[in-house]
Amino acid sequence: MSDLFEQTYNPDVLSCLANLSNDEVFTPPDLADQVLDMLPEGIWHDPDVTFLDPCCKSGVFLREIAKRLIDGLQDEIPELQERLDHIFKKQIFGIATTELCSLLSRRSLYCSKYPNCKYSVVQFDVADGNVRYRRCEHKWRDGRCEYCGASQEQLDRVDGSETYAYELIHSRKPEELFNMKFDVIIGNPPYQLNDGGNNASARPIYQLFVHQAKRLEPRYLTMIIPARWYAGGKGLDSFRGEMLEDSHITHLVDYPDSKDCFPGVDIAGGVCYFLYERDTEASLCEVKTVRNNSSVIAKRKLNEYSVFIRDSEAMSIIQKVGALKEPTMDNQVSSRKPFGLATNVKPLSHGDIRLRYIDGTGPYERSLVSTGADLIDKWKVVASYVAFDHAGRADREGRRKVLSVMRILPPGTICTETYLVYGSYSTEQEAENLKRYLSLRLPRYLISQLMVGQHLTKSRFALCPIPDVEEEWTDDALYQKYGLTPNEIHSIEESIREIPYAGGEEDE
């Protein structure tokens, strides 16, 4: 009887909602069904299983759950209205992210935004049914919310505007929101909040929804979240560790390009969804990587490395390179602000050194350099800290460049935080050889395995060995050094663009 929904709704409406925002992405119905397919078939025939979406936006998960239960419980509860009453009142629950989303969700689920009216497919005594929305407030301390870390300057409003203080993650006791246990928690939480930093800096919050959901101890938990946690980063290092060490995560579906999951939505680093099974411990997780409507499935240990290597086909290459136990580039690549200068620092009218900034070069004073003074008089290889491919976006042939344009800065030249320093040397030839090495495919392939998010940091170079800069390396020489097979070489060259090396200050 799931045709009840087909007769009442136009599913394309919910599909259209799926690309409204990068912070709070609506879930397309097809994707919701793919997530639900991970759950065991038996739950759709069990009238005692309870479901919670703690971050409802369009109500698509609740609607698709209802459709499956309406079909699955026909034998258990043959009479349709009795079945609907049971499913909607005793099995399906939601917490909306905003008041508008609560109305959308109820309309999707009950055929009416107020399920105590005559248009609802079931009759409740209260206007919100089992899809609640309660306006919450942030709890400010030292300019930030104690619960979610939001900026008080950005969100402390008195005009009745949306506060983005989501109920699930602003509760000390989430188990008391409904005063009941849930067998299945499923959702697509908000991803981030503006934290008041420079350049519209944002703080991830999706991990807080995962934490709170686990506190409710469901039998099954699945959420769609950005994949940036694979390599940690802003507020995500501990979450990454917890996820990689969690043997209850039995399935992980990875989309390196978010547009393969959410058409028209660009999320740097891609997205993923996972299945957590409370009563199952697995030594291996089934990892499915989806690119351009094709997929690769592999059984893997999530914690084999300190970060998650999303490309299962890369593992043999990484193991061969790592077997030589060479020092890696993360030990020599600079942190951000290699000379202590922010992006907006500009040249002076005069000075005894040169400053490379985003628009060119100009004079600067050596005495104003607060850090990295030992690098000033060396030859330096630098490049933008923003990845060339926006953290996963390949060209039309499916290949990536990874690193942005590299430059060699001569002695007496420094740079702003627009750039990272990849290496510094006493001779120009050594700098040229490092630049040549990083132009080769294997080093960029290894760096790409840790690229989750659009920014390059020194940690992204942890798989790439430091080269002997006395040599002029070639692709073939590196392939031979690490004993790569023709298939492994093919995998590298199919995913990484060739950069013809021309020498000089930069390669376009």
pLDDT higher than threshold 50 for residue 18: no
Largest CA distance in the chain: 87
Taking the C-alpha atoms of residue 311 and residue 289, their distance in angstroms, rounded to an integer, is 7
pLDDT tens string 438-495:
999 999 999 988 887 677 889 889 999 999 999 999 999 999 999 999 999 999 999 8
Taking the C-alpha atoms of residue 334 and residue 458, their distance in angstroms, rounded to an integer, is 6
Q: Which residues are paired to 295 by β-bridges?
A: 290
Helix, strand, or coil (residue 37): coil
> Using alpha carbons only, how large is the chain's radius of gyration in Å?
26
> Which of the residue ranges 4-8, 144-148, 216-220 would you say has the lowest mean pLDDT?
4-8
pLDDT at 23: 58
pLDDT at 311: 83
| Domain covering 3-310 in this structure, CATH number | 3.40.50.150
Section 408-420 average pLDDT: 96
pLDDT higher than threshold 50 for residue 507: no
- Residue 23 · residue 202 · CB < 8 Å: yes
Q: Give the pair of three-digit tokens for residue 105.
A: 């969700």
Section 292-307 average pLDDT: 88
pLDDT at 124: 96
Q: Is 321 exposed, middle or buried (0-12, 13-18, 19+ CB in 10 A)?
A: buried
Query: Confidence band (pLDDT; 50, 70, 90) for 10?
Result: very low
Taking the C-alpha atoms of residue 285 and residue 302, their distance in angstroms, rounded to an integer, is 7
DSSP assignment string, 300-353: E-TTSSSS----GGGHHHHHHHHTT---BGGGTSPPSSTTS--TT----SS-SE
Q: What percent of the chain has pLDDT over 90?
A: 71
pLDDT higher than threshold 80 for residue 134: yes
pLDDT tens string 220-265:
999 999 998 988 777 788 999 999 999 999 999 999 889 999 988 8
Strands 249-255 and 192-194, bridge-based pairing: unpaired
Q: What percent of the chain has pLDDT over 70?
A: 90
> Which of the residue ranges 19-33, 94-108, 212-226, 448-462 would you say has the lowest mean pLDDT?
19-33
**Half-sphere exposure for 391 (CA within 13 Å, toward CB):** 27
pLDDT at 235: 79
With CA atoms as reference, report the closest residue to 423 among 452, 387, 458, 463: 458
With CA atoms as reference, report the closest residue to 438 among 488, 397, 472: 472
pLDDT tens string 384-412:
988 877 545 566 667 889 998 899 999 99
pLDDT higher than threshold 70 for residue 198: no
Round the average pLDDT of the chain to a whole number and report it: 89
pLDDT at 306: 81
CA dihedral for 481, 486, 488, 493, sign (positive or negative):
positive
**Which helix H or strand E contains 43, and what residues bound it?**
none
pLDDT tens string 274-297:
999 999 999 999 999 998 888 989
Provide CB contacts within 8 A for 358, sequence distance 6+: 343, 416, 418
With CA atoms as reference, report the closest residue to 247 among 281, 215, 221: 281
**Helix, strand, coil percentages, rounded to 5, for the chain:** 30, 20, 50
Taking the C-alpha atoms of residue 408 and residue 411, their distance in angstroms, rounded to an integer, is 10
Q: Which residues are paired to 251 by β-bridges?
A: 275, 286
> Which of the residue ranges 201-210, 225-234, 359-368, 435-444 would you say has the lowest mean pLDDT?
225-234
Helix, strand, or coil (residue 473): coil
pLDDT at 268: 82
Query: Confidence band (pLDDT; 50, 70, 90) for 19?
Result: very low
pLDDT tens string 183-196:
999 999 999 987 66
pLDDT at 264: 84
Query: Confidence band (pLDDT; 50, 70, 90) for 22?
Result: very low
Q: Which residues are paired to 297 by β-bridges?
A: 288
Angle between helices 441-448 and 428-439 (to 10 degrees): 70
Query: Confidence band (pLDDT; 50, 70, 90) for 329?
Result: very high
> Which of the residue ranges 74-88, 147-161, 447-461 would you say has the lowest mean pLDDT?
147-161
Section 303-314 average pLDDT: 85
- Which one is predicted more confidently, 199 or 68? 68
pLDDT at 336: 87
Tokens 């090396």 identify what position? 501
Taking the C-alpha atoms of residue 89 and residue 319, their distance in angstroms, rounded to an integer, is 53
